[in-house]
Chains A and B, each alone.
Chain A
């Protein structure tokens, strides 16, 4: 802290601003037993910063705008493209409509998400962490607000060191208010995925929305404000399991943000009257440390705190341009290449490796299975429950009767008529309580349950159990759904 406050820009040679930034969040510097040292990342411009702004805009737009997209599904159905309808137990995603018993689609989706993450990590390191993770995106947004009000790194540190004046209080109040508004909007957008957004928005403001909506917004406001404004890099360093897991997907051929030490070392400032021929390209300006939102020094090598946001690449490239050295002292590179290059070998990028091929194969397989099941899924589901008590009933004429509950689920948006028949039994009598087997009507989007009695005349069974098949025919499409069952009689 004291070091940071004394931070002064001074000339490191070649007109480059030199910074005394300390990497406060490196494993050696931080301790569980001490107060967190606040990180004041310096703003930077460059290719990756522009890319990050673009992804930030894109991901936030998707998050905030997706619930407002409309999708016409016909009358009496929600016209929201993405909707988790908890009271009606449906998930709508554009043309897909998922029922609770089809939750395995969600499992498949999660597998695809996980394997995609593995694949991307194997190819290009922690791209997810650096660019698209909500923690990164929202923290970046909070940083932007902070810089807009309090100024850049140096100004922020000076403000922190001054006593509480009116202007300091005003700045802090403004900053935290904007943060809270952003946080509230984050929670506010979340609830729109669970209700019809255009009708829900006015309800939220007139306090007509259900309590759970306000509770959700409250919790998400709290977490967003806490994680984006205060906890920041600690979420990644301590709370998130992924930094610990991701090392298993990385190998020496994965692209990561790398300091090319063979080029940079020994590092040292360019000063007048000092010989420079023994020095490497790193002028030790500490700009890479100053811009790092995680508070580390990339020159220490790979470390779990690094989210590979690539801002140090931008910072270093800017410096290299100024001092007239080639760019890329810090760059996306693989550990194998760094090793090769340090021996004068040839660098190459290997995208196709057993690891990446395996991940791609799993992805294709899971994707194909999901696609096939999605395309071939039927709008009708039949379930048949056999009576267990009594197993069978003997009637006064000696015939045997078995009872079944036939459940027909109609996922279509129109009422359907079905015909119920049995196959594999001669002389079987079929009786449906309250309707005719030829015309079982199931309303749209409904599950109908029918009591069915199957009767065999006396002497119709040779054994105490007889396998047969129920056939449910959809009269509108004449498609059959077959369901095997068993007819039981007295022991022989």
Chain B
């Protein structure tokens, strides 16, 4: 294949001496800009090997003179971020909840921190926008079973509801039907009366019959006018909001089997500063008392 080098007549350029089926290859040099770029890249590569981590070894890799590591960079920037946050975190730890709410800087910081803690820990039940769903309270509205003040919210988060913590909030609504405390008819009448408390349409005669049953069995916790009692965790039955549904069937089910949602105690899982931020955030959603 390699034959004699010769000079091509048309271009005046030497051939490489290679020939395939009569086709000869011209020996044009590489463009200079290309060649120089190539040389510079080679030099750059050697310099890079020296300074940066480059070659894989069996259980490790070469570290390079600069010992660059993106993982170390991340650790550093996380530490730096925590360092910057600690100014606020320390102040929040020392402050009362009301002080946090009234200080513009602390409030903004607590809201941001609370929002992200909420997304990680609370949104699974209460929803990303804290709008809740059946059995899981909406935290945006002004209806609070255990109270909507900053302290009440903080207590609920700390100790949970019907949780395994000693200080947990707990109340026990009897299952009037299942435990045969009331008959089916009595339950239906009571439901009619409960619905009438909030002005919902119901059978007036049944409601009249149910009033007495309500006063005897329910008013101890839910009050005679149905406005409930936050100390006992008894929901307000006279407003427009229903945690378990406001139609007749849902109310009958509630009386029949009782209700009692559960929420974990967060005091062991989250630090006090995070819980304070959560309380401030939840309080600021629009229904805080």
- A: residues with CB less than 8 A from B are 32-33, 35-36, 387-390, 393-398, 401, 403, 433, 451, 453, 458
- Given A389-B131, A394-B240, A403-B286; A33-B28 close (CB under 8 Å): yes
A401 CA to B28 CA, complexed, in Å: 79
Main secondary structure of the interface of B (DSSP, over half): loop
Supplied contacts A390-B130, A395-B141, 5 more A-B pairs, CB within 8 Å: A390-B131, A390-B140, A395-B240, A398-B240, A453-B286
With a CB–CB cut-off of 8 A, which chain B residues contact A32?
31
A420 CA to B201 CA, complexed, in Å: 39
22 pairs, CB–CB < 8 Å, chain A vs chain B:
A33-B31, A35-B32, A36-B32, A389-B128, A389-B129, A390-B138, A390-B140, A393-B287, A394-B241, A395-B141, A395-B240, A396-B236, A396-B239, A396-B240, A396-B241, A397-B240, A398-B239, A398-B240, A401-B141, A403-B286, A453-B286, A458-B240
Which residue of chain A lies nearest to B27 when distances are taken between CB atoms in the complex? A33
- Given A387-B129, A390-B131, A390-B138; A396-B143 close (CB under 8 Å): yes
Find out whether the CB atom of B129 lies under 8 angstroms from the CB atom of A396.
no
Find out whether the CB atom of A393 lies under 8 angstroms from the CB atom of B141.
yes
A88 CA to B239 CA, complexed, in Å: 51
With a CB–CB cut-off of 8 A, which chain A residues contact B141?
393-396, 401
A387 CA to B286 CA, complexed, in Å: 12
Find out whether the CB atom of A393 lies under 8 angstroms from the CB atom of B240.
no
Which of A33, A35, A393 has a CB less than 8 Å from the CB of B131? A393
B197 vs chain A, min Cβ distance (A): 13
Query: Which of the listed residues A33, A36, A396, A398 has the most CB atoms from chain B within 10 Å of its own CB?
Result: A396
B266 vs chain A, min Cβ distance (A): 22
Query: Which of the listed residues A387, A388, A394, A403 has the most CB atoms from chain B within 10 Å of its own CB?
Result: A394
A397 CA to B287 CA, complexed, in Å: 13
B284 lies within 8 A of chain A by Cβ: yes
A398 CA to B142 CA, complexed, in Å: 11
- Given A387-B129, A398-B240; A393-B28 close (CB under 8 Å): no
A215 CA to B277 CA, complexed, in Å: 43
A398 CA to B241 CA, complexed, in Å: 8
A458 CA to B127 CA, complexed, in Å: 25
- B: residues with CB less than 8 A from A are 28-32, 127-131, 138, 140-143, 236, 239-241, 284, 286-287
Which of B131, B239, B286 has a CB less than 8 Å from the CB of A397? B239
With a CB–CB cut-off of 8 A, which chain A residues contact B142?
395-396
A178 CA to B78 CA, complexed, in Å: 48
With a CB–CB cut-off of 8 A, which chain A residues contact B240?
394-398, 458
With a CB–CB cut-off of 8 A, which chain A residues contact B239?
396-398
A14 vs chain B, min Cβ distance (A): 38
Which of A33, A35, A393 has a CB less than 8 Å from the CB of B140? A393
With a CB–CB cut-off of 8 A, which chain B residues contact A395?
141-143, 240-241, 287
With a CB–CB cut-off of 8 A, which chain B residues contact A387?
129
Which residue of chain B lies nearest to A453 when distances are taken between CB atoms in the complex? B286
A33 CA to B29 CA, complexed, in Å: 6
A156 CA to B25 CA, complexed, in Å: 39
A390 CA to B140 CA, complexed, in Å: 8
A388 CA to B239 CA, complexed, in Å: 25
With a CB–CB cut-off of 8 A, which chain B residues contact A35?
32
Query: Which of the listed residues B30, B127, B131 has the most CB atoms from chain A within 10 Å of its own CB?
Result: B131
B142 vs chain A, min Cβ distance (A): 5
Which residue of chain A lies nearest to B107 when distances are taken between CB atoms in the complex? A434
B119 vs chain A, min Cβ distance (A): 11
A405 vs chain B, min Cβ distance (A): 12
A431 vs chain B, min Cβ distance (A): 9
With a CB–CB cut-off of 8 A, which chain A residues contact B286?
393, 401, 403, 453
A401 CA to B138 CA, complexed, in Å: 13
With a CB–CB cut-off of 8 A, which chain B residues contact A36?
32
With a CB–CB cut-off of 8 A, which chain B residues contact A389?
127-129, 131
A36 CA to B31 CA, complexed, in Å: 11
A458 CA to B244 CA, complexed, in Å: 21
Query: Which of the listed residues A32, A35, A387, A433 has the most CB atoms from chain B within 10 Å of its own CB?
Result: A32
A252 CA to B25 CA, complexed, in Å: 43
With a CB–CB cut-off of 8 A, which chain A residues contact B236?
396
Which residue of chain B lies nearest to A31 when distances are taken between CB atoms in the complex? B28
A398 CA to B127 CA, complexed, in Å: 21
A396 CA to B128 CA, complexed, in Å: 21
A32 CA to B241 CA, complexed, in Å: 82
B34 vs chain A, min Cβ distance (A): 9
Query: Which of the listed residues B28, B127, B286 has the most CB atoms from chain A within 10 Å of its own CB?
Result: B286
With a CB–CB cut-off of 8 A, which chain A residues contact B28?
33
A458 vs chain B, min Cβ distance (A): 7
Which residue of chain A lies nearest to B140 when distances are taken between CB atoms in the complex? A393
With a CB–CB cut-off of 8 A, which chain A residues contact B30?
33
Which residue of chain A lies nearest to B198 when distances are taken between CB atoms in the complex? A398
A8 vs chain B, min Cβ distance (A): 27
A387 CA to B129 CA, complexed, in Å: 9
With a CB–CB cut-off of 8 A, which chain A residues contact B130?
390
B172 vs chain A, min Cβ distance (A): 24
Which 6 pairs show the lowest CB-CB distances between chains A and B? A389-B129, A390-B131, A396-B239, A398-B240, A393-B140, A396-B143
Query: Which of the listed residues B32, B138, B140, B143 has the most CB atoms from chain A within 10 Å of its own CB?
Result: B140
A24 vs chain B, min Cβ distance (A): 15
A308 vs chain B, min Cβ distance (A): 26
